[in-house]
Amino acid sequence: MRLLILGGTAWLGGYITSTALELGHQVTCLARGASGPVAAGAAFVRADRERPDAYDEVAAERWDVVVDVSRQPGQVQRAAAALVRRSRSFVFVSSANVYADHSSPGQDETKTLLPPLVGNIMESMAVYGEAKVACEQHVMDAYGPERTVIARVGLIGGPGDVFDRTGYWPLRFARPAREDGKVLVPDAPTELTQVIDVRDLARWLVEAGTSSLHGIFNTTGETIPLSEHLQIARTVAGHSGPVVPASSEWLLAHQVQPWMGDRSLPLWLGDPDWAGFNARDSSRARSAGLRTRPLEDTLTAGLAWELTRDLSRPRRAGLSDDDERSLLDEFSPR
């Protein structure tokens, strides 16, 4: 089949492109090219999606599937309008951030969404969920439910995680900041995690688009406790040093941020109002063919990739070695 991928040069888009090629499809990527080259074997159309003529070249052809990962409502609306008569179906990569409530585990695709973003441009990640809701609506308005796949994706992990969330823990256990091997972890055993391997997600997106599937799907990894996730990361890294659990209250009091960002501990949420954020019901996607590999495989590949990078670089998620040592020095259990 002929696939048009809007993007295709960054992390997830790159895996979608390479997976589609491996499965024997013809792939064209439309992008600015700022994130790097397309995979070998894919055609490339250079275009800026903010320009009114961005889709002129690809709208002159016919496509079986269009795949889009954008967070910008204006980009998605213009793409859908330009391509709706030139393509059979549209696969949109959305996010579990579209939901209005994250307090309860096990919620499915029928739950209430945030209001859609008003306007064409998402100017801040503070309205990421609202922007993705608006994107979903633009696709549905153009293609209708029978020609649309919407994948509400959870946390993505594995090789290439430039957001640094899923690679942090195996790397920290593999390279403790202190000589005694101590590693600071959140004492939050009841918190839940869901990580979907980027390779599994990419394969499902391609198969969903090329199999005439349609509908809305929570596309997430399996739900496991944070404590189990950390133990798997520790095993993958071969860590045998002490693990130092600190309560959410202590971490927050010492300016450690949950989830991501500077001076953070990834995957930890620290807020009961978000207890269901990493625990969405993905049974519908699994019934539609989603297959996910063991977390151990994802973290092993993620660690191998981390070790190819500059370990002294500023991270987008996690503690620096200096912060880790300082916090361990300050820690005193209650």
E-only strand ranges, the chain: 2-6, 26-31, 43-46, 63-68, 87-95, 148-153, 155-157, 183-186, 192-197, 215-219, 223-225, 243-246, 257-259, 261-262, 264-266, 317-318
What CA–CA distances, in Å, run from 267 to 82, 189, 244?
39, 12, 16
Domain boundaries defined on the chain: 2-153, 159-193+224-277+294-330
For residue 113, the 8-state DSSP code is B
The pLDDT of residue 332: 65
Secondary structure of residue 200 in the 3-state scheme: helix
Considering the segment(s) 2-153 as one domain, its CATH architecture is 3-Layer(aba) Sandwich (3.40)
Cα–Cα distance for residue pair 55/46, rounded to 1 Å: 10
With vertex at residue 197, the alpha carbon angle to CA 220 and CA 234, rounded to the nearest 5 degrees, is 105
The pLDDT of residue 30: 98
- Residues in CB range of 321: below 8 A, 6 or more apart: 177
pTM for this model (two decimals): 0.97
Q: Are 291 and 204 in contact (CB under 8 A)?
A: yes
Phi, then psi, of 271 in degrees rounded to 5: -145, 120
Q: Hey, how many other C-beta atoms are within 10 angstroms of the C-beta on 221?
A: 27
Could you read off the pLDDT tens digit of each residue along the chain, which spans 334 residues?
999 999 999 999 999 999 999 999 999 999 998 888 999 999 999 999 999 999 999 999 999 999 999 999 999 999 999 999 999 999 999 999 999 999 999 999 999 999 999 999 999 999 999 999 999 999 999 999 999 999 999 999 999 999 999 999 999 999 999 999 999 999 998 999 999 999 999 999 999 999 989 999 999 999 999 999 999 999 999 999 999 999 999 999 999 999 999 999 999 999 999 999 999 999 999 999 999 999 999 999 999 999 999 999 999 999 999 999 999 999 965 4
**Residue found by looking up tokens 């500023």 in the block:** 314
By the 10 Å C-beta count (0-12 exposed, 13-18 middle, 19+ buried), 60 is classed as: exposed
Cα–Cα distance for residue pair 48/45, rounded to 1 Å: 10
Cα–Cα distance for residue pair 307/299, rounded to 1 Å: 12
Tokens of 33: 């090219």
The pLDDT of residue 334: 41
The pLDDT of residue 33: 87
